[in-house]
Structure 1
Amino acid sequence: MLLSLAIRDLVLIEALDLDFHRGLGVLTGETGAGKSILLDALGLAMGARADSGLVRQGAERALVIAGFDVAGHAAVAALLGDNDIAQEPGEPLLIRRQVRADGGSRAFVNDQPVSAGLLRDLGVLLVEIHGQHDDRGLINPKGHRDLLDSFGRCDVAGVAAAWRGWQAAERAYADANAAIDTALRDRDLLEHNLAELTAFMPQPGEEAELAGDRAAMQKGERLSGDIADLFATFEGSKGALAQLRGAARKLDRIAEEHPLLNEALEALDRSVIEADDAEAKLRAASEALTYDSVRLDEMERRLFDLRALARKHNVAGDALPDLLARMQADWAALESGGANLTALDKARHAAKAAYVSAAEALSSERAKAGKALDAAVQGELIPLKLDAARFRTLVDPLDETRWGPSGMDHVEFLISTNPGSDFAPLMKIASGGELSRFILALKVALAEQGGAETMIFDEIDRGVGGAVASAIGERLARLALTTQLLVVTHSPQVAARGAHHLLIAKTSDGTVARTGVRLLDDADRKEEIARMLSGAEITPEARAQADRLLERV
């Protein structure tokens, strides 16, 4: 809902701050007072094209700030979330647009810079403006199907679920069929590669293990002479370790003769222990680095074959076991693919049949809802002086290539304005106030079905008066019970229905003209309606008539 509109230096408006409320708000004023400027200002906030001509003469820039209550508006919350724009709970959504005199413009949502495109996306969700050149809202056929479904409470969710099931079944069949086609096309190659890999039987981590063992054995070959020499130093009765042990025994017999001899014995014992440890590690190293020319040849041949297979299949060596598993699965699918494909084919046809059944039921619901909507709209057209017009909800089957989660139907609202004339889209036939009255009739018939929370009708009463204007005012007031409605009007019958009345007036000091807006109290409101009834000179009869209009509502 629109809460506020602040305008600075826009055309004839120097500074203006307006607050808005729920219900029906009417905007009146003499011709040329500047009512369109307010719509231009709101249009800027909603992403309309920025024109430097909107900047007030002598000012550097024009500024418009619109505040909206978006609490509970899921679509707005989703759009803000998609664009990483924070919205504090309980705080208004602030849209700011500025236009410089040199033609540049900037846009902000909650003080975050955004594109004019995002403002337009927000505008569709926040405000519907219905006027002579409206091409959105109810005029746009893209939204007609959703409006009809909402009006008729049609089961679109069931059709969407059936559509998803059908598409999933089609994908499963297509994937399986493609896999079998590929396998059949490459059957001989697959059989050869599978036999080759099965015979080789690669193991997980084998390449690294073989490379490590080969490196160790090659190192053992290089170090075997040095290790043998070291063993000669340790082994035998004349080896270093045997001599150390013999020296320790001799020293043990005389160690008690002097403290230094005892210390020498202790040091020698430690040396024997360390020498034993060195010999053990040397033996372990010798075993780890054992060189076996036959085994080395086998490892090198296995490693060479493994890497050759990896290059052949363009994978890493460690990926060969997984490749073998996939080939085995492909071969199994090839062997049993016919039966599996038959089952998937049956499943996809069953899923399509379920979708078609659900979509046909939805089409029947839409046809029934269309007739009900036609009758409801037709009942609204006569009081709005559109009694010669006819309204029709077109529900036509779509080509199968255009079926989707919303069913198999194209829905569009059509009108015929004269007896015998063909039905055609609203925009192509209706114009001006007639178009706005069609929109009003549709809105009343649809009640709360879809649409933005704020609606604006620009001169919906153009070219009508008397009973028709009263009928328009009554329907606007009824519609305003469920939404915020703003109406730019020249009709006293419509103005009298307003819950809030804003007067737009232009003043001039002889050199500069300015447009101002003020909220009317009860007395001023009666005076303004009397002016609308009588013209420049307000007569007692006009004031009496204004009283009667206000009493009726």
Structure 2
Amino acid sequence: MLRALEIRDMLIIDRLDLAFQPGLNVLTGETGAGKSILLDSLGFVLGWRGRAELVRSGAAQGEVTAVFELSATHAARAVLEDAGLPVSSELILRRVNTADGRKTGWVNDRRASGEVLRRLSETLIELHGQHDDRGLLNPSGHRAILDDYAATDPLIAATRAAWAQRREARKALTAAEDALDAVRAEEDFLRHAVAELEKLAPEPGEDQTLDERRRMMQAAERIREDIARASDAIGYDGAEGAMSNALRWLEGASEKAEGRLDGAMAALTRAMAELDEAGREVADCLDALEFNPAELEDTEERLFALRGLARKHAVAPDDLAELTATLSDRLAALDRGAEDIADLKRAVADAETAYDAAGDALSGTRRDAAGRLDAAVAAELAPLRMERAVFRTEVTPGEPGPEGRDAVAFTVATNPGAPSGPLNKIASGGELSRFLLALKVSLSQERNRGVTMIFDEIDRGVGGATANAVGRRLKALADDGQVLVVTHSPQVAALGAHHWRVSKRVESDMTLSTVTPLADDAREDEIARMLSGDTVTPEARAAARALLGSF
């Protein structure tokens, strides 16, 4: 509920402080007095896109503050939490517009973007008027309005989930078919390449192992003779035998040397152990250099085959094993592709069936709600002197999507037998006002979301008993909430629980707008002015008293 609106230096308003109340709040005044500026200012603080130049001439900046009261379950609380903004029972919006066009907003004293303000506005304010493209006149929003009336949230959630599963199933099928088509285009290559690779059976690291073995065999003939001579020199006929004899001779003489040979014998013993180790290593090398000449030929042949196949597939020799696995997997996918595609097609069919079932349930609920809404609007049109008019909520097949397969449009026929058409194109100004009011009353009876409803001259083009009926419906709409009405109708103004007069004054060659709350006597004067014009006659005052006294 809107509690307060403070405006500073906006257009022709220099300073204005308004305290709104629950119930029906009416604003009246002559054309051009500044009533639309109030709405422009409210729209500005709510982040709506409107006039580009709002700062009062000569002022450095304009500022608007709006204070709302939030119930414990108000939808604005969720928006605040999502934006990381403070949440309490009082919501204060403030926005500044500098003379050079920069705009800055705050929510509960925290900086906030225009987008956050607009999201909050959707939970705080509903604006209705003959040229309103944000609400009931916008055909693109009719389905959402019907869904709100029908309370279809659980059905829409189920339909969205079914739509997502349907989309993912189709996406998986398309990807599999595309992949299969791509693999089929290279089937001959895959079968030949896999056969060739599997026949060779390359292993990781094999290239290096073969290359080292090949180089060793090539060098074996050149170095084997020297290694053999070295082996002979180390062996028993060489150093090993000489050292063994020396150690035996020393051992025979050591008893008479009184320990002087002990160190020499120990050193010889160690040397013989090292010599034995060297002999074993040389012998191992000689064994390794033993090869069959055919082995060198086989090694070179396999090495060249590996490297040739690597060049053919533009990979390193060590990557041939991985390439074999990759191409084998692709070939296996091709072989089982038809079976996979069949499984995916079944999944798509199941997802289509689930989506159709969810969509049918949602469509049925919408059609039932459309009938109830049409009946409710018809009941509201009768007291508004439009009992012969027809309002119809058309639910027709539309493009499938996450919220079902229905297109929803509000259509009207103003006279029996006349063709129906879009709400904003068939009805005249006065008829349109009453259609909008009847529709809004019907919607609000079903679900009251705690928003402040603003009607901008919705009673234009009607008068007399019809204006009286419009006023009574507005009053009924405001009984459990808050309604602000900008009106030129004395019958509507007389029904207001709270009344403000908007007027202009000139100070120092500058036109300024003023909004004055009216007490009982002042209300009588204002309604008399609305009845008679500039000159208030006794008859007008009497009529004003009669209007005020009859409600």
TM-score computed with the length of structure 2 as normaliser: 0.74
Inter-partner Cα distance in structure 2 for 1:410 and 1:94:
38
Question: Which amino acid letter does the alignment assign opposite residue 13 of structure 1?
Answer: I
The one of 56, 68, 84 equivalent to 1:86 is: 84
With 65-74 and 146-155 compared, the bigger mean Cα shift is at 65-74
1:533 aligns with 2:523: no
* Correspondence for 2:425: 428
Matching residue of 2:412: 415
Is the aligned partner of 1:548 residue 2:546? no
Query: Residue type matched to 1:527 in 2?
Result: D
Aligned mates of 1:20, 1:51 — CA distance in 2: 27
Contact 1:28-1:502 within 8 A present in 2 as well: yes
The letter for the 1-side match of 2:526 is: M
Distance 1:312 1:55 in 2: 70
Deviations 1:502-523 (A, max 9, x none): 44343333533322335x4xxx
**In terms of mean alpha carbon deviation, does 215-224 or 19-28 score higher?**
215-224
Shift of 1:545: 4.0
1:175-226 Cα shifts (integer Å, max 9, x gaps): 4444444444443333223323433445xxx54x335546766897899979
In the TM superposition, 1:58-207 aligns within 5 A as 58-66=58-66, 77=78, 81=82, 85-90=83-88, 97-102=95-100, 104-108=101-105, 110=107, 112=111, 114=113, 123-124=121-122, 126-153=124-151, 155-201=155-201, 206-207=203-204
Which runs of structure 2 are paired with 1:378-397 in the superposition (5 Å)? 378-397=378-397
> Structure 1 residue 412: deviation in Å?
0.3
Counterparts of 1:465 and 1:486, CA distance in 2: 19
Amino acid at match of 2:401: G
Aligned to 1:517: 515
Task: Measure the CA separation in 2 of the matches of 1:17 and 1:185.
Answer: 76
Counterpart residue number, 1:48: 49
Correspondence 1:9-408 to 2 at 5 A: 9-20=9-20, 23-45=23-45, 46-52=47-53, 54-66=54-66, 77=78, 81=82, 85-90=83-88, 97-102=95-100, 104-108=101-105, 110=107, 112=111, 114=113, 123-124=121-122, 126-153=124-151, 155-201=155-201, 206-207=203-204, 209-210=205-206, 213=209, 236=235, 297=300, 300-301=303-304, 303-305=306-308, 307-308=310-311, 310-311=313-314, 317=320, 319-334=322-337, 337=338, 341-342=341-342, 344-345=344-345, 348-349=348-349, 351-353=351-353, 355-356=355-356, 358-398=358-398, 402-408=399-405
Larger deviation, residues 276-285 vs 464-473: 276-285
Decide whether the 8 Å contact of 1:97 with 1:105 is kept in 2. no
Q: Secondary structure at the match of 2:458?
A: coil
Amino acid paired to 1:410: A
Per mean C-alpha deviation after superposition, the further-off stretch among 458-467 and 445-454 is 445-454
Q: How many Å separate the matches in 2 of 1:301 and 1:130?
A: 85
Kindly provide the CA deviation profile for residues 55-111 of structure 1, in whole angstroms up to 9, marking residues without a partner as x: 212123333344556775668856995xxx532232866655544445x33344545
Aligned CA distance change for structure 1 residues 174 and 58 (closer, same or farther; 3 Å): closer
Name the stretch that deviates more: 487-496 or 41-50: 487-496
Q: Is the 8 A contact 2:503 2:513 kept in 1?
A: yes
Which residue of the partner structure matches residue 471 of structure 2?
A: 473
1:376 Cα deviation after fit: 0.8
SS of the residue corresponding to residue 434 of structure 2 reads: helix
Q: Give the distance between the partners of 1:99 and 1:417, measured in 2 at CA.
A: 44
Verify the 8 A CA contact 1:156 1:406 in the aligned structure 2: yes
Amino acid at match of 1:25: N
CA contact (8 A) 1:220 1:286 kept: no
| Distance in 2 separating the partners of 1:358 and 1:445 | 27
- Structure 1's 199 and 547: CA in aligned 2 closer, same or farther, altered over 3 A? same
Q: Which amino acid aligns with 1:548?
A: G
* Compared CA separation, residues 544 and 74, structure 1 to 2 (3 A): closer
The alignment status of 1:437 with 2:434, answered yes or no, reads: yes
Tell me, in whole angstroms, the C-alpha distance in 2 between the residues paired with 1:132 and 1:92: 32
Q: Secondary structure at the match of 1:456?
A: strand
Higher gyration radius (CA): 2
The letter of the residue matching 1:51 is A
1:135 is displaced (CA, Å) by 1.5
By how many angstroms is 1:143 displaced?
1.9
Work out the CA distance in 1 between the residues paired with 2:186 and 2:126.
60
TM superposition shift of 1:137? 1.2
Question: Distance in 2 between the 1:275 and 1:18 partners?
Answer: 111
Contact 1:48/1:120, CA 8 A, preserved across alignment: no
Unaligned runs of 5+ in 1: none
- Residue identity in the other structure for 2:522: E
* Alpha-carbon distance in 1 for matches of 2:476, 2:346: 54
Give the 3-state SS of the residue equivalent to 1:137 in structure 2. Answer: coil
**TM-score, with length taken from structure 1:** 0.74
Structure-2 change in CA distance of 1:267 and 1:548 (3 Å): farther
One-letter amino acid of the counterpart of residue 331, structure 1: L
Q: Give the CA RMSD over aligned residues.
A: 5.1
> SS at 1:130's partner residue?
strand
Q: Kindly state the Cα deviation for residue 542 of structure 1 after the two structures are TM-superposed.
A: 6.5
Q: CA shift at 1:379, angstroms?
A: 1.0
C-alpha distance in structure 1 between counterparts of 2:281 and 2:16, whole Å: 94
Residue 34 of structure 1 aligns with an amino acid whose one-letter code is G
1:510 to 1:243, Cα distance in 2 relative to 1, 3 A: same
Contact 1:393–1:411 (CA under 8 A) maintained in structure 2: yes
Task: Report SS of the residue matched to 2:314.
Answer: helix
SS of structure 2 residue aligned to 1:487: strand
1:542/1:194 CA distance change after superposition, 3 Å: same
User: CA shift at 1:37, angstroms?
Assistant: 1.0
Determine if contact 2:28/2:35 at 8 Å carries over to the other structure.
Answer: yes
Counterpart contact for 1:47–1:118, Cα < 8 Å: no
User: Structure 1 17/215 Cα, relative in aligned 2: closer, same or farther at 3 Å?
Assistant: farther
Q: Deviations over 1:463-521 (max 9, x none)?
A: 43454344333333433356543222344554455455444343333533322335x4x
Letter in 1 for 2:436: I
Q: Which moved more, 1:183-192 or 1:118-127?
A: 118-127
Identity of aligned residues (%): 39
Q: Determine helix, strand or coil for the equivalent of 2:334.
A: helix
Q: How far, CA to CA, are the matches of 2:208 and 2:479 in structure 1?
A: 83
